[in-house]
Structure 1
Amino acid sequence: MKAVTVKDLVERFSLQILAGSIHLDRLITKSRAYRPGLEFVGYFEFFSHSNVHVLGRKEITYLHKLSDEERNDRIGNIVKYHPPCFIVTRSQDEGLKYLIKYCEEEGIPLLLTSETTSKFIDLVDNFLAKTLAPEMTIHGVCVNVSGIGIIIRGKSGVGKSETAHTLIQRGHRLVADDAVVLKKTSPETIIGTHDGKTKEFLALRSIGLINVSRLYGRSAFQDETRIVLDIELTKWQDNSLNNELELEPKFTEYMDIQIPHIEIQLQPGRDVAGLVEAAANNWYLRQQGYSAMEEFMKRLEMP
């Protein structure tokens, strides 16, 4: 099971440590932050003890209004479940001696951020969802074409990186070359990114390794993109392609998610990058409910 440590959160979000500094190796295995509420009044039936616990203005104000005895009882009921950590938002560090005391005794890190509660939860959820997401690495190129994430696959030497280079020259963006890391961030979503080592690099045969950001500017690269198309470059086969008005939908499956698949056969003089652009734009129009085939058939029916 993939996990993130509390130390990873501290470093990622520059959190202040109020208690439990020697317990930052505690593991976080759940991808969403949790705000305890009913637990403060003793209801624990659906208590999520494996999540990061965030205490906002509402929770801290409630605790401050309790008597010492009530507050100790409320906090004691929660810390005994040993959540990975508590994070207090809005720099609410005044009057937290009781919370610091319990966290030190139970070995639970107590952290502080200046961010608002809703914004911080969004940031943490996004970070944990991507970091803890199931992932796999495939051989290929990942590009973002007019905001549309595409994987370009094919055998070694078929021209994947060269196609990506042409797309970059036309104003599109590289995400990853050679090793494409795919992350499943939801039951319907695959994110494509790089492995860190190849970030911004594109390998071109006869030229060598280039840094696209240095060569074409920062707009030539982006860190990640949602994958919506899988394009495979293959060698040309005579009589294997017909001018169908509408092709039968095909899909490639990655981690139980089906991604629309298109095969583009290569031949000297064929504008492969242009065909990739056409595929991306056509996919976008279909998402908007437009079908060129349907419009064509309607025109044929007109007197």
Structure 2
Amino acid sequence: MTNSVSVKQLVDAMEDITVISGEEYLNRNIPVSDLSRPGLELTGYFSYYPQDRIQLLGKTEISFTDKMTSEERTIVMRKMCQDETPAFLIARGMIPPEELIKAAKEKEIPVLSSPRSTTRLASNITNFLEEKLAERLSVHGVLVDIYGMGVIITGDSGIGKSETALELIQRGHRLVADDRVELYMLDERRIVGEPPEILRNLIEIRGVGVVDVVNLFGVGAVRLTKSVDLVVNLELWDRNKEYDRLGSNLDSLRVFNVDVQKINIPVRTGRNLAIIIEMAAMNTRAKAMGYDATRTFERNLEKLIQKNSMENI
């Protein structure tokens, strides 16, 4: 699933962007996250004009237009205003050419302005659009921030995911999403999860109903997004199944093109799942920092075997 972004959403999200003209056209769609700085186009070269991008004009572009005649500016600006063009954005609070304002109105394209530098503005908008336009994947589970580790708790319906998350919240950890987690790829190595807007800050407990975590525990008990570091899958205890006892059998869940570490935890009466998941998150972080208890155990076992072998000689 891929989201769409309108120019209005961009303006609302970026506090330093204002509308110079075309406020009634802010519903135009932005299809791509890339921006265009139309330097060659100002010289009349339109063979490879990326017309479906936001056209960002900085000090260089505006200074160049000042040296053009009004007729030249009119011709170029009309060529730049295409049906697919989402918006024009002027950096550094500079004054756009009147010919641009007129041509944009003719094509119903908004013209925006920002006091920020061109480079900073391009970076901020690209980051925003990449996040909003990224491909989305909906996962059934609960996402919790545990000691800075993003942990998705998955498992069959009714196994206790939300109840476990509630206990984790009581222990000081933070809820990101309950029941459904929207995942997207932030970059080549990171997957980020967030809640659907309708479920934000809410958690459902069977027999109790929907609980507003902010009202009960305060704003410190939630966060809006979190990168995913670990998937914990809860499954009913099967006495005939062999479970990993040393943590040496590494498993992973592939999300888009990123492999996220996954562990399976058997559920049965008497097991405190919140504490187990808390320890799993801490252990995963320790491994990422180079501290692996399994390797320590294996080294100790190897030393013990060598010692016994020497004593038997």
Q: What TM-score does the superposition give when structure 2 sets the normalisation length?
A: 0.83
Q: The residue matched to 1:263 in structure 2 has which SS?
A: strand
Alignment of 1:180-191 (within 5 A): 180-191=181-192
Identity percentage of aligned residues: 33
Instruction: Note the C-alpha offset of 1:109.
Output: 1.8
Give, in whole Å, the separation in 2 of the partners of 1:278 and 1:38.
Answer: 57
Give, in whole Å, the separation in 1 of the partners of 2:296 and 2:52.
Answer: 53
Give, in whole Å, the separation in 1 of the partners of 2:92 and 2:48.
Answer: 27
**2:128 corresponds to 1:156:** no
Give, in whole Å, the separation in 2 of the partners of 1:41 and 1:275.
Answer: 65
Alignment of 1:218-233 (within 5 A): 218-233=219-234
Q: The residue matched to 1:171 in structure 2 has which SS?
A: coil
Alignment of 1:1-303 (within 5 A): 2-13=3-14, 15-42=17-44, 47-68=49-70, 71-72=73-74, 75=77, 78-79=80-81, 83-93=85-95, 96-238=97-239, 240-242=241-243, 244-299=245-300, 300-301=302-303
Give, in whole Å, the separation in 2 of the partners of 1:96 and 1:88.
Answer: 10
Seen in structure 2, the aligned counterparts of structure 1 residues 41 and 211 have a Cα distance that, compared at 3 Å, is same
Alignment length (residue pairs): 302
Contact 1:31–1:128 (8 Å) recurs in 2:
yes
Give, in whole Å, the separation in 2 of the partners of 1:45 and 1:291.
Answer: 57
Instruction: Note the C-alpha offset of 1:242.
Output: 4.5
Q: The residue matched to 1:100 in structure 2 has which SS?
A: helix
Structure 2 counterpart of 1:33, which letter?
L
| Deviating more after overlay: 266-275 vs 141-150 | 266-275
Structure 2 counterpart of 1:37, which letter?
G
Q: Which runs of 5+ in 2 are unaligned?
A: 308-313
Give, in whole Å, the separation in 2 of the partners of 1:289 and 1:63.
Answer: 57
Give, in whole Å, the separation in 1 of the partners of 2:44 and 2:294.
Answer: 61
Give, in whole Å, the separation in 1 of the partners of 2:269 and 2:184.
Answer: 35
Give, in whole Å, the separation in 2 of the partners of 1:251 and 1:145.
Answer: 19
Question: 1:38-75 CA distances to partner (integer Å, 9 max, x unpaired)?
Answer: 44345556543222122223332333344546545654
Question: 1:101-142 CA distances to partner (integer Å, 9 max, x unpaired)?
Answer: 232234322111233433333332232122212113222111
Seen in structure 2, the aligned counterparts of structure 1 residues 92 and 137 have a Cα distance that, compared at 3 Å, is same
Structure 2 counterpart of 1:216, which letter?
F
Contact 2:176–2:194 (8 Å) recurs in 1:
yes
Contact 1:202–1:209 (8 Å) recurs in 2:
yes
Give, in whole Å, the separation in 2 of the partners of 1:40 and 1:30.
Answer: 22
Seen in structure 2, the aligned counterparts of structure 1 residues 65 and 205 have a Cα distance that, compared at 3 Å, is same
Q: What TM-score does the superposition give when structure 1 sets the normalisation length?
A: 0.86
Contact 2:93–2:113 (8 Å) recurs in 1:
yes
Instruction: Note the C-alpha offset of 1:169.
Output: 1.5
Seen in structure 2, the aligned counterparts of structure 1 residues 248 and 108 have a Cα distance that, compared at 3 Å, is same
Give, in whole Å, the separation in 2 of the partners of 1:246 and 1:283.
Answer: 10
Instruction: Note the C-alpha offset of 1:176.
Output: 0.9
Asked which structure has the greater CA Rg, the reply is 2
Q: The residue matched to 2:154 in structure 1 has which SS?
A: strand
Give, in whole Å, the separation in 1 of the partners of 2:244 and 2:89.
Answer: 60
Q: Which runs of 5+ in 1 are unaligned?
A: none
Seen in structure 2, the aligned counterparts of structure 1 residues 171 and 19 have a Cα distance that, compared at 3 Å, is same
Instruction: Note the C-alpha offset of 1:240.
Output: 2.8
* RMSD (Å) for aligned C-alpha atoms: 2.8
Structure 2 counterpart of 1:277, which letter?
E
Question: 1:267-288 CA distances to partner (integer Å, 9 max, x unpaired)?
Answer: 2222211221222222223333
Give, in whole Å, the separation in 1 of the partners of 2:168 and 2:200.
Answer: 17
Q: The residue matched to 1:124 in structure 2 has which SS?
A: helix
Contact 1:134–1:185 (8 Å) recurs in 2:
no
